[in-house]
Structure 1
Amino acid sequence: MSAWSAGPLLDAADVTSGTRVLDVGTGPGVVSREAVRRGASVVAVDADPGMAAAARANVPGLDVREAVLPDLPLPDASFDAVVGNFVINHTSRPDEAVRQFARVLRPGGKLALTCWEMPPSGALSLVGEALEEAGVPVPDDIPTPPFAELGKRGPFAGLLREAGLTDARDAELRWTHLVDPEEWWTTGALARIGTNGVIVSRQDAPTIAKVKAAYDRLAARYATSDGRLALPANALIATGVR
């Protein structure tokens, strides 16, 4: 689902042929691959060794470094553009991470970040709605994510402004994600990824079955004629200049 925004993200950072770009939180290298296709010179960073290996495999010759944000072991003013596709909402210190992004930008360089819009809706809220309908509470030991408040227009741009970037602004990104309903249940609920996945993983089999029944009822709102789901994806994109 997040691959859709690779193009808009690079457009927002003015990434073209010859641009020296840093792709933070590259994951499997989707954004880096598109940047290379445009003729950019790319360095990619990810915290997970497995993801770094996947990016190297998916983008032959890609310079991939391993680093855990907000630590960014790269020289000051060394990039024309820094981009991050849905990585800032996974950092525990987003303010410090953005300061690091600004540090490695050359004067006049551009930062572009995407994050999921808060509160979650559409594609991101479906499993959570099913948990709520099934009466499964959020455990006390699961923290409120940092982007519960920052993932909104205004505060997101403000995060870049506070890091010293100029012309900071944010905008909405809207698209439709087509997916098989069972695939979405597996990736959103059973993969133990994200808050909802952790909550589902702690339940017994009868409770999971109850959540799945609620999911099926709620998912029917998005059903297409070919049996897939047309899920609305709601995100934000923020840009700023060094």
Structure 2
Amino acid sequence: MTDFDTYERDLWAGRADVYARGFARLTAHSVGPLLDAARVGAGSRVLDLGTGPGIVAAQAVRRGARVSAVDADPLMAETAARGVPEADVRVAVLPALPHEDETFDAVVGNFVINHVGDPVAALAELRRVLRPGGRVALTCWTMPGSGVLALVRDAMEEVGVAWPDDVPLSPFMTYGRPDAFAALVGGAFREARAEVLDWDFTFEPDEWWRDGAMARVGSNAVVLLRQDPPTIARVKEVYDRRLTGYAVGDGRVSVPAHAILAHGTR
């Protein structure tokens, strides 16, 4: 593992429940397109990477697929195994998977590849476990983050919170564009393509703040929680002010989300 991988293991350790309440609701939007791109259907042998609480695995099971899943965090894997008992869920850290060569018809990862220290090595491992003609489909956020993904970061920048040197940025930053993501996947797979996924995410601002920023979910939250209480309060004020333009009634807001789906064939 790289230093970034080690950082990520600490970042997500013990976050299964709060992730399920917050960010998992945001990332659920892309699950259908992800499984469609991998051509997951009845009888497909599917590997779900970074399964988290098992949302992708559950939808693949509902399609009639035979599902295996992995997550680097033991609590995430335990949560997925409990929620999707039909799936074979294991703990594994990319780029090392505990599966034989050419095991799967499809490998999918919903916002996982951008949390890997060596994406090229990870893709080589995905190719290894896919059968010839099998499909890979992966999502990532557009980078730098924008829309709902940038709310806390933009508020911190407005307040003047500096990004510390010891909190690493994802090595995936250079791949967060459709052309770059397609080229990356094309280094390991045939017929690689990438498409933009845009949607509106509706939520209550205080809940999103509580289950994201103040729950230490993601690097923005790591940086924010290092600040003193007056600084955090100023960031919250800016966050609330920026969200007023997205109000849709009943105390909720609807903010754009921007991601990329890349897929290819072994």
Give the TM-score range, shorter chain: over 0.9
2:85 corresponds in structure 1 to 60
In the alignment, which of 158, 174, 179 is matched to residue 198 of structure 2? 174
TM-score, normalising length from structure 1?
0.97
State the distance in 2 between where 1:176 and 1:105 align: 33
| Identical residues among aligned pairs (%) | 56
State the distance in 2 between where 1:54 and 1:26 align: 9
- Give 1:162 shift: 1.2
1:198 aligns with 2:212: no
In the alignment, which of 165, 168, 191 is matched to residue 140 of structure 1? 165
What does 1:78-93 correspond to in 2, within 5 Å? 78-93=103-118
1:104 corresponds in structure 2 to 129
More helix by percentage: 2
* Cα pair 1:188 1:196 within 8 Å, conserved: no
- Give 1:49 shift: 0.7
1:184 aligns with 2:208: yes
2:19 corresponds in structure 1 to none
- Give 1:61 shift: 2.8
State the distance in 1 between where 2:36 and 2:205 align: 31
TM-score, normalising length from structure 2?
0.89
- Give 1:129 shift: 0.8
Helix, strand or coil for the counterpart of 1:154?
helix
In the alignment, which of 18, 27, 42 is matched to residue 52 of structure 2? 27
* Cα pair 2:113 2:140 within 8 Å, conserved: yes
Helix, strand or coil for the counterpart of 1:174?
strand
Letter in 1 for 2:31: A
Alignment gaps of 5+ in structure 2 = 1-25
**How many residue pairs end up in the alignment?**
241
State the distance in 2 between where 1:72 and 1:60 align: 20
What is the root-mean-square deviation in Å for CA atoms of aligned residues? 0.9
* Cα pair 2:67 2:86 within 8 Å, conserved: no
2:76 corresponds in structure 1 to 51
Letter in 2 for 1:71: A
* Cα pair 1:157 1:168 within 8 Å, conserved: yes
